[in-house]
Structure 1
Amino acid sequence: MFWWLYYADSSSFKDLPLVMWLQGGPGGSSCGFGNFEEIGPLDTDLEPRKTSWVSSASVLFVDNPVGTGYSYTDSEEALTKDVAMVAADMMVLLREFFNKQTEFQSIPFYIFSESYGGKMAAAISLALTKAVQKGSIKCNFAGVALGDSWISPLGLLSQMCSHWGGVCVCVCVLQSLLDDYGLMEVTRAAKAVQEAVEQGQYEKATEQWSITENVVEQNTNGVNFYNILTQQDDELMKSSLNDNGYLCKTEQRTLYRSLSQLMNGPIRKKLGVIPKNVTWGGQAEEVFESMSGDFMKPVVDIIDELLAAGVNVTVYNGQLDLIVDTIGQELWVKKLNWDGLKKFSQMKWTALEDPESAGQTGAFYKTYKNFAFYWILKAGHMIPSDQGQMALRMLKMVTLQE
């Protein structure tokens, strides 16, 4: 498993937290996408990023699970099948990391994630909590943040396709793009997903999910699931790495060709440690296929366990994200068994000023005890790419720097 560490840009990195970033997919590379397209110190043109998270934290990128990005395996049996295997592999890496980088053992350690990375982050956080309690991993685990996360797939699907009377912009825009016939087709496809999940046929449910998204695309002239105010790039779609899993292939088709050239060219040469037989992103399709039986399974119960254990849990979501819409996130939150849910639900949103537009609202949030929810405006699935300054402010708030 390949990891990449940046020490915080500070006179003393020990005064700032350590953040691990996990990409989605499964099969999306943190060391590629998260690093060069979202929060790392350089962009894909190798120019400095003004909103890099390295300004406020040391950042650890991990290509996870094995087979993703620069992480590789020579055995198909080593590819993970579910989030339990993902978490077990990550415990090996984190144990070795903190044993080697002893300077980080006492520094507050947070896990931030995106998309399916949030589902993996939940399982990893629970395993890490237990490992810290047992003393097998020495670290100061301070919390997990789940960004546009794949926590309750069926709930997200039902909100994406339903007639919703609320104010979720992404759902309203989607339905404004669908006529009655289109909505009927999408609803029919979504019901097939639901039936497969109810029957416990999770691989079939994953296949039906991909079909549903194709139906949506066909009836909306290619609405962008990651940001509803933009359309998919047909050429980038044709060059996508993975033809099976939508989350994986969409994340990898965003500037995929230039990023692939960057990672398999100058970055690979600069690192000097990547085996000759390993291609960046070369096993991503196998990763998704191996995890297909886990893809549509919810992990809401894991969130309950984390909250009950006193772990700080943050949920953050982009307003313009369709594939993981905010109302769908709120839906599974309302189903938590957490003892603080009633009071949390009664709280009103608190507005946050947009750091780039004085006097304008950039986000809403509310927090109670060890749970927080951020709704980032004018952002899609990849919040740091769409609203870099707001994402950076959220990072500081979650890590208690603001």
Structure 2
Amino acid sequence: MKLLILFPCLFLLITSFGPTSGLLGRIKQGKETWGYVKVRDNAHMFFWLYYTTADVDYKLRPLVLWLQGGPGASSTGIGNFLEIGPQTLSLENRTNTWVKQVNLLFVDNPVGTGYSFVEDPALLASNNTVIANDLVAFMKGFLAKVPEFQTVPLYIFAESYGGKMAAQFAVSLNKAVLQKKIRCQLAGVALGDSWVSPVDAVLSWGSYLYATSLIDSAGLTKVNNKAQEVSDAVKAGKLGPATELWGETENLIENVTNGVNFYNILKEPCRANSSNAIASHTSHIFASKNQEHLYNANVGQFSAVLDALMNGPIKEKLKVIPQNVTWGGQSQLVFKALAADFMNSAVKNVEMLLNTTSVKVVVYNGQLDLIVTSLGAQKWVENLHWAGTKPWVNAVRKPIDGPSGATLAFSKSFKNFAFYWVLNAGHMIPADVSDTALQMMEEIVGLKAH
């Protein structure tokens, strides 16, 4: 299960695995637990918690909750096995797993994603508010199951569309804490290559492609004109058509760039047609061929890569997944249910966090990401309605160097806000530069000096 704008051609990153026999004995590493939380009647959210393997009492290390994008991409699959979990797709130990430093919680969100499921499709989330409320309900149920984490600092890390969800979730969770409806130590939210301001992202595509020699001036005019159509539709409140136009803009870019990889412009192009055979049976689900094309191009890749593992040895290991539930079985429905909300902005939620709370807010972006360019992210950040915006803009940007002395990233902070520019990375930063991602996470949660 995986989704929409959010995920790349990962076949370059994947190590294939053979028959499932013999794999089960290699899956477990360190202390872990998993299960379901009922967030609404007939709506069930799955989680997988890994306790840190650091040589300390686990309660002395933060809890990092990872939200995937999509909407409808699985945290327990993609984030876990392809990015930051303790093991890789081939079930080998991951060198730069975040579990080495923090407790790591993967949640299949929204309901219907990954192993999460609804008993009635009418219960699927149709907007960001429903998603945020479900996540607060999840946290209440999760913390009832493992109450020791009620006093552990919680950091929400999110990728792509997950960042849009995380911003409103953090606002709702903070409100619930203040109202004493939940006991939770929300400490920070980190928005990675996040779809927080879709219009700013789309309007930046032409400039980014032109600056990187992927289009010429004629191509720049075409892309900018199409991107402006997206912006105009959003301004007119035509959000469903805006999502369609967004897809048309991506298709145009594929044509004028000879198939640029949206997730990392330096990697092998993603050919949209390659996934049609995988997911062609989903055509009856979508309202248009354009929507089907987008889903197939961005989700079919993950189906081919992860389905055998998640619906085979992992499902067998977990033992709590209902027999009629398959990993990713409802992902197409999740995507379709949120199509009209896709182009909505979540900037006001970020502003609310900065203006009314002391929660640490971090935005981080990969240099090579086209879907959510650093240009687009900087644009909405520099226009935040927050007293600290101008001081942040004028603050000194600091380099982050690696062991060899090479610059890995830059960061700039003011009060409880920080922005990271991550070099040599695309949309999925931990998959591209795992060492940098780990170091950045340690800084954000306070385990390493800034």
CA contact (8 A) 1:28 1:251 kept: no
Q: Which amino acid aligns with 1:214?
A: N
Residues 239 and 122 (structure 1), Cα distance of their counterparts in 2 relative to 1, 3 Å cut: farther
Is 2:182 the counterpart of 1:137? yes
TM-score w.r.t. length of structure 1: 0.94
Corresponding residue for residue 361 of structure 2: 313
**SS state at 2:413 partner:** strand
Map residues 200-211 of structure 1 onto 2, 5 A cutoff. Answer: 200-211=237-248
Does 2:443 match 1:389? no
Matched, 1:228 2:228: no
Q: How many residues align?
A: 392
Q: 1:276 aligns with which of 314, 318, 323?
A: 323
**1:298-309 paired onto structure 2 within 5 Å:** 298-308=345-355, 309=357
Shift of 1:348: 2.1
Q: Is the 8 A contact 1:239 1:257 kept in 2?
A: no
Residue 330 (structure 1) aligned to one of 372, 378, 389: 378
Amino acid at match of 2:142: F
For the Cα contact (< 8 Å) 1:115–1:149, is it kept in 2? yes
8 Å Cα contact 2:210-2:220 kept in structure 1: no
Report the Cα offset of residue 250 of structure 1: 5.5
User: Which residue of structure 2 lines up, in the alignment, with residue 362 of structure 1?
Assistant: 408
Structure 1 ranges of 4+ moved more than 4 A: 239-243, 245-251
Q: Distance in 1 between matches of 2:71 and 2:139?
A: 19
Structure 2 residue aligned with 1:188: 225
SS at match of 2:118: coil
What CA distance in whole angstroms lies between the structure 2 residues aligned with 1:37 and 1:383? 11
Deviations 1:161-218 (A, max 9, x none): 24xxxxx6x6522xx2223443333223212212211110101100110111011001
Counterpart amino acid of residue 268 in structure 2: Q
CA distance in 1, matches of 2:301, 2:219: 26
> Does 1:267 find its partner at 2:314?
yes
CA distance in 2, matches of 1:320, 1:267: 32
On the 8 A contact 2:205/2:223 being kept in 1, the answer is no
Alpha carbons of structure 1 residues 400 and 246: separation in structure 2 relative to 1, 3 Å = farther
SS at match of 1:98: helix
1:385 Cα deviation from its structure 2 partner: 0.3
Partner of residue 25, structure 1? 70
Q: Give the secondary structure class of the aligned counterpart of 2:326.
A: coil
Query: How far apart, CA to CA, are the structure 2 residues paired with 1:160 and 1:7?
Result: 40
Q: What is the aligned partner in structure 1 of residue 46 from structure 2?
A: 2
Cα distance change, pair 240–80 in 1 and its aligned pair in 2 (3 A)? farther
Residue by residue, what CA displacement relative to the aligned partner does 1:229-267 show, whole Å, maximum 9, x if unpaired? Answer: 013343754356577278865653455413111111111
Aligned pair in 2 of structure 1 residues 34, 171: CA closer, same or farther (>3 Å)? farther
**241-250 or 324-333: bigger deviation:** 241-250
Distance 2:436 2:311 in 1: 31
1:286 aligned onto 2:333: yes
> Structure 2 stretches of 5 or more lacking a match?
1-44, 283-289
- Does residue 98 of structure 1 match 2:143? yes
Q: Which runs of 5+ in 1 are unaligned?
A: 163-167
2:421 counterpart residue number: 375
The answer to whether the 8 Å contact 2:192/2:363 transfers is yes
Q: Percent identity?
A: 47
Specify the alignment match of 1:342 in structure 2.
390
State whether residues 26 and 65 of structure 1, in contact with CA within 8 Å, keep that contact through their aligned partners in structure 2.
yes
CA distance in 1, matches of 2:65, 2:260: 31
Instruction: Tell me what 1:165 maps to.
Output: none
Letter in 2 for 1:172: A
TM-score scaled by length of structure 2: 0.84
Query: What's the secondary structure of 1:359's corresponding residue?
Result: coil
> What does residue 37 of structure 2 align with?
none
| Aligned ranges 1:38-57 → 2 under 5 Å | 38-57=83-102
